[in-house]
Amino acid sequence: MADGQGASPARGIIEPATLVAIERAARLLRAGDLVGMPTETVYGLAADALNPEAVQKIFAAKGRPADHPVIVHLPSADHLPRWAASIPKDAIALARAFWPGPLTLILRREADVPDEVTGGQDTVGVRVPAHSIALALLQVFGSGIAAPSANRFGRISPTTAAHVQEELGERVAMILDGGACPVGIESTIVDFSRDVPEILRPGAITADDIARVIGRRPRVRSEVEQGSSAQGGADAAGRLDAPHVPRVSGALAAHYAPRTPLRLVEASRLAGEAAELAATGCRVAVLAISVGDPQDGRLAWHAAPAQPGAYAHDLYASLRTLDALGVDLILVETMPAGAAWTAIADRLGRAAVGSGAEDDET
């Protein structure tokens, strides 16, 4: 359908985020189409969260399982009661402390929130993004926008408009260019649908950050997973045997993955293992923090920032760069210890599990 007068604009085009472009993006959303939207974390594939048919287009474009919920982005915390019921005081405290920002709250849903958004669950994930373009679009649109990462399901999340265009092309009506995402990894997800708050996906906001606001440390799902995995507690889809835990974005064992096989290697073994593999004729790319480039012409060596914030900012772009080299294997130095590296380690662990598989184009 034409947007305005004359022929319909070409789809999948990157547009500078002028006020005119933002207003056109809002019109496209109201018409049930998809828009690439920058946020501070990663680029989102945006649709009207109250339009079930529009949300279904997200799943079709991404190749995303229908029972996988999507996060609803809100113009402000004032919109929270429209989407969530019986909001705990600790959730309100976190919203006041960290919104706009990279924090998603899992709350009991209002009855009329579409099942397509929640994956058929009785919970909904909501956040207010800390990106001026995302907030401007939300304000013009005036309601919640469903926006999972704008990439094929399970693949490396996009942190530039060009990444969205490469991944989705004409599946998206337009892409608002907001530059490189400043955070670079997905939001922290905190579940408030049960008795004890629990981090279901780590992000830039840590358990210690949350504890300073609500006066108690939340449970951390990754710590629970480590114990359950040791006892064989995962199902065939990579989810743990805990049906009471809400399904959330990014919780599958395989996610954020390059097509090239990826392996995590400790710093003490990284250079040696890379050289040994190269000697066998294996084409190897390396992403390293603390290990210097051995100047081995057989290796594609990529130095990563030593600070966690900068590493997270560069992570997905670095993986895309290495994935495009056509090598046989990507070796990534394991993360240092410490809470600041937890979210990055989580993404890389899931990337290693999911790497090497081809997309199922349907």
Per-residue CA distances from 31 to 25, 34, 108, 257, 260 (Å): 10, 9, 28, 32, 38
Domain match, 153 and 302 both:
no
pTM for the structure as a whole: 0.91
- Our count of domains for the chain comes to 2
- The model's pLDDT over 311-333, given as tens digits with 9 standing for 90+, comes to 999 999 999 999 999 999 999 99
Q: Which of 144-148, 221-225, 272-276, 297-301 has the lowest mean pLDDT?
A: 221-225
pLDDT band, very low/low/confident/very high, at 52 (cuts 50, 70, 90): very high
Within a domain: residue 254?
Answer: no
Same domain, 268 and 182: no
Query: Would residue 248 count as lying in a domain?
Result: no
71 and 164 within one domain: yes
Query: Residue 224 pLDDT > 60, yes or no?
Result: no
Please give the distance of CA 113 from its chain centroid, rounded to a whole number.
22
Chosen domain end from 208, 230, 252: 230
Residue 249 domain-assigned (yes or no): no
Same domain, 294 and 159: no
Residue 283: count of CB within 10 angstroms of its CB: 15
**How distant, in Å, are the alpha carbons of 6, 166, 173 from that of 13?**
17, 11, 8
Q: At 359, is the pLDDT very low, low, confident or very high (cuts 50, 70, 90)?
A: low
Give the CATH number of the domain where residue 131 resides: 3.90.870.10
Determine the structural domain holding residue 59 and report its residue range. Answer: 13-230
Strand 284-288 versus strand 329-333 pairing type? parallel
Residues 221 and 106 in one domain: yes
For residue 301, the domain's CATH number is 3.40.50.11030
